[in-house]
Structure 1
Amino acid sequence: MTMRITPLPETPTLPEPDGGLGALTTDRGNLPLDTVDVRASVTGLVAGVEVVQGFRNPFDVPLEATYVFPLPDRAAVTGLRMEADDRTIEGVLKERGQARQDYDRAVAAGQRAAIAEEDRPDVFTMRVGNILPGERVTIRLTLDQPLPYETDQHGDGEATFRFPLVVAPRYIPGTPLGDEAAGQGTAPDTDAVPDASRISPPVLLPGFPNPVRLAITVDIDPAGLPLTELRSALHVTTADEDRAEGTGPAGGTVRLVPGERLDRDFILRLVYAARDGEDTAAPASLTLVPDESGAEGTFTLTVLPSGRGRPRPRDVVLVLDRSGSMHGWKMVAARRAAARIVDTLTAGDRFAVLSFDTVVERPRDLGAGLVPGTDRNRFRAVEHLASVDARGGTELLTPLQEACALLADPHRDRVLVLITDGQVGNEDQILAQLGPSLQGVRIHTVGIDQAVNAGFLNRLAEIGQGRCELVESEDRLDTAMEHIHHRIGAPLATDLSLHAEGLTLVPDTVAPSRLGALFPGVPLVVSGRFRGAPSGTLTVRGTGSDGTGWERDAKATVTGNRSITSIWARAHLRDLEDRYAVSGSDELERRIVDASLRFGVLCRFTAFVAIDSRVVTEGQAPHQVVQPVESPRGWESPQATLMAASYGAPAMPAAMPRATAAPPSAPRGGAARGTERFAAESLDVPDFRTSPAPPSPAPPSPAAPGMPAPQARRRAKGDAATQRLDNARRDLAEELRRLTDLRSASQADRHQYLLAHLLPVLETTVQDLDHWGDTPRSLSALLTDLRAVSPADPTRLDELWTRTIETLKEFTTPPPKRAFWKRRS
């Protein structure tokens, strides 16, 4: 047998030397994270993974590093280990509040400590405290991860190993709370996302020099499956084939080439051939893993379906995300995907198309309800889709509620298809408010991004008893749309239920808790707990697409693979957490904590904490640094990042997310949030942030004794004028700094920023200064020309871009102070 390795085509853009996430240079050196090493061992359809994070302290004071990072949303985190100064400390899983107290107490006492917390199913926070100057601390996380598997009409199969590498900026809706921040991120906590500051790490601007050294190694053992090909979707890899002659299917090792960045998911697809002569009539398998005590155990039932369901009349609502984070290739792919879905509809179907950002729009002439899938209506819908472009914020809840309201006829097959990158922070709010509307509605999600929010899209699809399909590039779109076409069609069976014979199931442990429907080519995987002897049969029953009864059964086989238990525990905890998001029940919280601690799997209510018993520093609070993350690849437009990270309104936020690290003297929390600015001198920009911002203008102070009233008024007026100019200089210095940061952006992005953001800021500033007659002529003239320029005149806009930078430099440079002996009294 020959195994073919399909490499990613070489890109003309070579990795920048010394570039990347860990090499952000400040006046004190580099930021702490300098290596990420992912080591995976794939056996069959399960991967055991070790994630190694290396932190180094470049400062001359003890350091506390915070790193917000992603992990696969279905992976079970089962262990943490801290290594420093030839010492190894094993982490302990504790209730989250207790773990935080232990960590904070240890750091205050001068001990090394590390804590890992889950903030979303695929977003985690690592804090490592009291790293000594020049010291290196290594954190090792262990995971167990299932590999999704699908087959095509020929019986060929494909498994996917997906490992996320960056937390993309997320749209944060709601009203800022104004309380002490929950984390040290760039977004304020809001009533819709109370922990927004925990999931919004600072972002490196595009083109920033290269980062941490990234290494990924995947060892593959097919475990008897006929592996024929490996495909790396987004990264350049090398593969070493490892097969003894005559021993059957190939295995091997896949390695990431040096120089890659943590700016997109790592995706490796394993292609399996159909077995010759194999019966494809929906085989099923049942695996039992007894606990060491022998009293209980874990089961996993897998049903591999084949064939096609019988079509029924359908109501289909297509919801398309057109928010700012969908800019570029994602918007092109999303439009194509939506149009392909519309083209599959028939005259017997009814449908609606909703495109949304902060508002919801529908195609003209199709009305507000469902319309028949006639040629005319489909043409109108596709015509509308062709005009959709990215803009605004991701207000996702309203269009989903409108879509569910349209799907109200229980006599038809009701399908909702959401096409998005999923980059929102209010996942729990959406699931809690949408839950009651989902009865009888099947939701399929299509995630389009190279750093997709897979955790949320999988949660939404599972609650809606549908499927999630992830699209990382336009090249993948055709294959993905083939899968989606089968899924929005008729399922093979619905109303599935589980029945045991000779095997005692533990109540309320089956995951997923709602089995949903069975789709062509998509295995049904059900796991749970059993009591007693490891033997018996499990049967899945349901209703076939033709209305008759449907069932498949499987007899038990026993294995000692402990990863099956941890993978079940993760799925079970995810089910309980989704139910908690809806109810907020204290009893559910207690169940989640108990299950997490019993099975040793991290969840939202627990944390791994490792504490070194030795005191390494005394009397000095550690210098805090929040590790910045890469801007996701494919988010070429700075506006896309800004809009994704904005909150409360579609307009750009007042400040661009910046890669920052706090000076040792910075207090914990506060405006700095553990961050330090770039050196303004390197940009040739005056720095108005080296001292506290001036207070709001105050009433004139009383005149000095003996000062005449006219002289006092002149002095008060002079003080107010100085205050206004200082405020204006500080605001425009920040705009100048952003313009300088955007020098490497595309021409279209620079022009859009100039007219969409800078022009309104400049208008406000000039209006304020005009009121007092303080506006410099150069600033007024620049504003006049910016108002008059046409967006279709790139040459003139380039001239204004250069002139804007020169004018702002001139305005924001304070006049030189006169020597004290030359000042007038």
Structure 2
Amino acid sequence: MFVKLPLWLYLVSVCYFSFPYLSLASQDAYLNRTITNEADEITQGLISYQINSQHKQMFALDTQVEMTVSGLVNRVTVKQIFNNVEDSWIHAKYIFPLPENSAVDGMNLLIGDRVIEGVIKPKQQAKQQFEQAKQQGKQASLVSQQRTNVFTTQLANIGPLQQVTVEITYLQTISYQDGLFSLRFPLVVVPRYRPDFQRSTFSETKELISPMLDPLNVQRNTEGQNASASHKVSIHIDIDGGFDITKLSSPFHDIQQHQNGRKTNVSLQGKVPLDRDFVLQWQTSVGDEVAATVFFQTGKTYQDKANADVNLDQPKDIYAMAMLFPPTLTSKAQQQISRELILVIDTSGSMAGESIIQAKQALNIALTALKPNDSFNIIEFNSSVSALFSDAKPANSVYLQEAKRFIGSLNADGGTEMAPALDRALTSSINANAKAGSLRQVIFMTDGAVSNEAQLFEQISYQLQDSRLFTVGIGSAPNSHFMTRAARVGRGTFTYIGKSEEVEQKISQLLTKISQPILTDVELYNLDGSVPDYWPAQIDDVYQSDPATVSFKMPADQLQPVIISGHINGQYWQQQLDFNQGRAAVGIDLLWANTQITALELSQSHANRQKVAKQVEALAMLYHLVSSQTSLLAVDVTPVNPHHPDKSEHQLATLLPAGWQASASQQGVLPQTATASRLWLLIGMSLLALTLLYGLWLKGLLPAQRLILNSAE
């Protein structure tokens, strides 16, 4: 016998029992829509293609990285070897990460015994010529920049059972911070969050997403291949830093080393997965004796071959890179000034797991460094933004205790809406009653997993005012493109924390050195008072243990010493750099041009966007560099594929960065730590279900109603 239920209770019970299935269905629909409708998905370390409507993938058989460090310059060759395991011709596309300061200047496509050298061309022209070569049945390769640290390579007409090798070469400068020389090589492209661009008043940018790779698919798709080599890398490094190395380590990987005087050879112990960035750090016997050094080069790396005879008698330019080590000073008590410290923490879903633990630990350490005359506030953001206080509060025991409780309650979930968080930190939360002369500093802790970097750079530049923005990269593979450039625009520094054991040391070092800049108002000029062509145009403040690095150019017939000057503790200071005491180096012109390109792109806005694009293209063409406006193209002149079918190119997943978490339902795709769109989708479907049920109830067509009517009869 059935009991007649009220309509509202009947509908609630039906929705209650159907909710899990409705939720899963809406999630699947949302995720499928996200992936299939996105034209700019990115994959890493593998080639994907389509044959007869069947989606397949070809894994890298081998990835080899060779580095040669000379002083402050690192020349790198990245070699990736792929195999066409099919008995038909294919086109392919894959992606790879590089350091954000890499100057990519070379690419070779190796097919069998042939070596096809890449040539720099304007981006659209290179793309058109690649597509033309593909249709003509020619073998070709195209390397393009998506971000300064994300590049794509397209391959055309790879023969049946043919092996293909792509070599990418670039230069980068070695970092020196907190007494350590270090280089960082990214091994994984972090999945990027896509914000709601329509809500932003700043420029939009090209979207990038990266679905996660299901480890089970790796095993299934590497059957018949060397599965153990898939998505793994070997690294070998030769270091000649100019001084004896006293201490060398890699915090995240096991290495083996062999030292021979000033030279040191380093390599990984076997191959490692492409799931977290490789970092190598070393100290030298330089100690506190060296105040400054200069590296220089005469002429360009890539001479203009077409006009070689015309330029033969013309004087060549000198390209130089100056590195200034500030003197070690002990801050005096009377020199300490009050600070307004704004701590911003990313609590989005991409921070789940080890990253949020590190970030919360960093916040607690930052609180202990506050002094009684300081003020502070904490801002957390995911899909929305919330602040502990409406504005900065004094660093007393009452407010500090409240802050610790706030930190303890933080969890990682939701989207990565950085724009509102930056707005809150740089403008909305400014304390109008702050002490005169106080130093306002914003420490932004995040993994930087966003795709709208250009929009955020423009926002920071517009809203910074008198604040200083310091970025702290959290996790195994933070988006260094965003973190480094955001700190540059914000006139601060970037600190990378890769594991929990580093948090206390690095946060303490950061807070100590930013409490008082060592060298301010830094300028560069020639001995005769003229100003060389140097970049960045606005040299950053110099903090304890951090050097100032400046790239500049001058005519060889006007070669003279340069002066770096500034203020230390309010007193004028200068240092003279003589070229006869400098060291010759290779590729300094590429680093100078790359630094200028970075400065130009950071100055980009709605008003000057086209002008900047033309300037970047001209500079990159002149110095043979891949940029946002240029690409490397290699085309074999002889057609080899008589059928040259046009096959679609599809993109697959990348390895999940070490320490990231993903639910079972999200395995194999990007975790959508997004806005409330999924919730609205669920609500909409729930309302639709309720409407249908209500219509059936009015007509008496529900199963329970029929049974009740039958029993009554």
Amino acid paired to 1:101: Q
8 Å contact kept, 2:653–2:669: no
Cα distance change, pair 417–164 in 1 and its aligned pair in 2 (3 A) = same
- Distance (whole Å) between structure 1 residues aligned to residue 235 and residue 205 of structure 2: 37
- Deviation sequence 1:524-561 (CA, Å, 0-9, x none): 111121123363222222233x3232333322235442
Cα distance change, pair 369–88 in 1 and its aligned pair in 2 (3 A) = same
Secondary structure at the residue paired with 2:505?
helix
Aligned match of 2:238: 220
Cα distance change, pair 551–513 in 1 and its aligned pair in 2 (3 A) = same
Cα distance change, pair 522–767 in 1 and its aligned pair in 2 (3 A) = same
Q: Is 1:362 the counterpart of 2:406 in the alignment?
A: no
Q: Deviation of residue 102 (structure 1)?
A: 0.7
Q: Deviation of residue 279 (structure 1)?
A: 3.2
Q: Deviation of residue 652 (structure 1)?
A: 5.4
Q: After the TM superposition, which residues 324-335 of structure 1 pair with which residues of structure 2 at under 5 Å, given as runs?
A: 324-335=349-360
Q: Is 1:303 the counterpart of 2:311 in the alignment?
A: no
Cα distance change, pair 536–34 in 1 and its aligned pair in 2 (3 A) = same
Q: Deviation of residue 562 (structure 1)?
A: 2.1
Aligned match of 2:40: none
Q: Deviation of residue 256 (structure 1)?
A: 4.2
- Distance (whole Å) between structure 1 residues aligned to residue 70 and residue 667 of structure 2: 38
Q: Is 1:404 the counterpart of 2:426 in the alignment?
A: yes
Q: Deviation of residue 267 (structure 1)?
A: 1.3
8 Å contact kept, 1:28–1:58: no
Q: After the TM superposition, which residues 737-756 of structure 1 pair with which residues of structure 2 at under 5 Å, given as runs?
A: none
User: Which residue of 185, 190, 200 corresponds with 2:209?
Assistant: 200
Secondary structure at the residue paired with 2:653?
coil
Secondary structure at the residue paired with 1:591?
helix
Q: Give % identity.
A: 24
8 Å contact kept, 2:366–2:508: no
Aligned match of 2:578: 555
8 Å contact kept, 1:499–1:540: yes
Q: Deviation of residue 329 (structure 1)?
A: 0.9
Cα distance change, pair 609–113 in 1 and its aligned pair in 2 (3 A) = same
Amino acid paired to 1:279: E
Aligned match of 2:276: 264
Q: Deviation of residue 175 (structure 1)?
A: 5.4
Cα distance change, pair 360–54 in 1 and its aligned pair in 2 (3 A) = same
Cα distance change, pair 769–112 in 1 and its aligned pair in 2 (3 A) = farther
Amino acid paired to 1:220: D
Q: Deviation of residue 44 (structure 1)?
A: 2.8
Amino acid paired to 1:571: T
User: Which residue of 361, 373, 380 corresponds with 2:395?
Assistant: 373
Cα distance change, pair 391–347 in 1 and its aligned pair in 2 (3 A) = same
Q: After the TM superposition, which residues 491-640 of structure 1 pair with which residues of structure 2 at under 5 Å, given as runs?
A: 491-502=517-528, 505-506=531-532, 509-533=533-557, 535-544=559-568, 546-557=569-580, 559-581=583-605, 583-617=607-641, 618-638=643-663
Q: After the TM superposition, which residues 230-269 of structure 1 pair with which residues of structure 2 at under 5 Å, given as runs?
A: 230-239=248-257, 241-243=258-260, 248-249=261-262, 251-258=264-271, 260-269=272-281
8 Å contact kept, 2:522–2:540: yes
- Distance (whole Å) between structure 2 residues aligned to residue 477 and residue 340 of structure 1: 8
Amino acid paired to 2:626: L
- Distance (whole Å) between structure 2 residues aligned to residue 770 and residue 322 of structure 1: 39
Amino acid paired to 1:195: K
Aligned match of 1:349: 374
Cα distance change, pair 362–191 in 1 and its aligned pair in 2 (3 A) = closer
Q: After the TM superposition, which residues 122-161 of structure 1 pair with which residues of structure 2 at under 5 Å, given as runs?
A: 122-151=149-178, 157-161=179-183
- Distance (whole Å) between structure 1 residues aligned to residue 90 and residue 62 of structure 2: 17
Aligned match of 2:18: none
Q: After the TM superposition, which residues 9-88 of structure 1 pair with which residues of structure 2 at under 5 Å, given as runs?
A: 22=46, 30-88=57-115
Secondary structure at the residue paired with 1:633?
coil
Secondary structure at the residue paired with 1:119?
strand
Q: Deviation of residue 274 (structure 1)?
A: 5.1
User: Which residue of 273, 287, 292 corresponds with 1:284?
Assistant: 292
Deviates more, 1:28-37 or 1:410-419: 28-37
Cα distance change, pair 203–63 in 1 and its aligned pair in 2 (3 A) = farther
Secondary structure at the residue paired with 1:613?
coil
- Distance (whole Å) between structure 2 residues aligned to residue 641 and residue 422 of structure 1: 22
Amino acid paired to 1:141: I
Cα distance change, pair 322–551 in 1 and its aligned pair in 2 (3 A) = same
Q: After the TM superposition, which residues 436-447 of structure 1 pair with which residues of structure 2 at under 5 Å, given as runs?
A: 436-447=462-473
Secondary structure at the residue paired with 2:242?
coil
Cα distance change, pair 339–145 in 1 and its aligned pair in 2 (3 A) = same
8 Å contact kept, 2:45–2:95: no
Secondary structure at the residue paired with 1:31?
strand
Q: After the TM superposition, which residues 807-818 of structure 1 pair with which residues of structure 2 at under 5 Å, given as runs?
A: none
Amino acid paired to 1:89: I
- Distance (whole Å) between structure 2 residues aligned to residue 85 and residue 643 of structure 1: 35
Cα distance change, pair 543–94 in 1 and its aligned pair in 2 (3 A) = same
- Distance (whole Å) between structure 2 residues aligned to residue 503 and residue 263 of structure 1: 50
- Distance (whole Å) between structure 2 residues aligned to residue 495 and residue 328 of structure 1: 41
Amino acid paired to 1:117: S
Q: Deviation of residue 21 (structure 1)?
A: 6.1
Cα distance change, pair 279–54 in 1 and its aligned pair in 2 (3 A) = closer
Aligned match of 1:425: 451
- Distance (whole Å) between structure 2 residues aligned to residue 653 and residue 128 of structure 1: 40
- Distance (whole Å) between structure 2 residues aligned to residue 383 and residue 139 of structure 1: 52
Give the superposed CA RMSD: 3.2
Cα distance change, pair 300–146 in 1 and its aligned pair in 2 (3 A) = same
8 Å contact kept, 1:397–1:434: no
- Distance (whole Å) between structure 1 residues aligned to residue 667 and residue 182 of structure 2: 28
- Distance (whole Å) between structure 1 residues aligned to residue 529 and residue 82 of structure 2: 49
Deviates more, 1:108-117 or 1:548-557: 548-557
- Distance (whole Å) between structure 2 residues aligned to residue 589 and residue 566 of structure 1: 18
Cα distance change, pair 505–115 in 1 and its aligned pair in 2 (3 A) = farther
- Distance (whole Å) between structure 2 residues aligned to residue 401 and residue 194 of structure 1: 18
Q: Deviation of residue 322 (structure 1)?
A: 0.6
- Deviation sequence 1:477-526 (CA, Å, 0-9, x none): 223113212233111122222222148644xx422222121100011111
- Distance (whole Å) between structure 1 residues aligned to residue 273 and residue 234 of structure 2: 11
8 Å contact kept, 2:45–2:654: yes
Q: Deviation of residue 116 (structure 1)?
A: 0.8
Give the TM-score, by structure 2 length. Answer: 0.80
Deviates more, 1:613-622 or 1:133-142: 613-622
Q: Is 1:451 the counterpart of 2:477 in the alignment?
A: yes
User: Which residue of 304, 310, 313 corresponds with 2:338?
Assistant: 313
Cα distance change, pair 23–601 in 1 and its aligned pair in 2 (3 A) = closer
- Deviation sequence 1:689-709 (CA, Å, 0-9, x none): xxxxxxxxxxxxxxxxxxxxx
Of structures 1 and 2, the one scoring higher in RCO (CA 8 A, sep 6+) is: 2
- Deviation sequence 1:180-216 (CA, Å, 0-9, x none): xxxxxxxxxx9975521xx324420256535625333
Amino acid paired to 2:466: G
8 Å contact kept, 1:298–1:565: yes
- Distance (whole Å) between structure 1 residues aligned to residue 267 and residue 461 of structure 2: 41
Deviates more, 1:337-346 or 1:216-225: 216-225
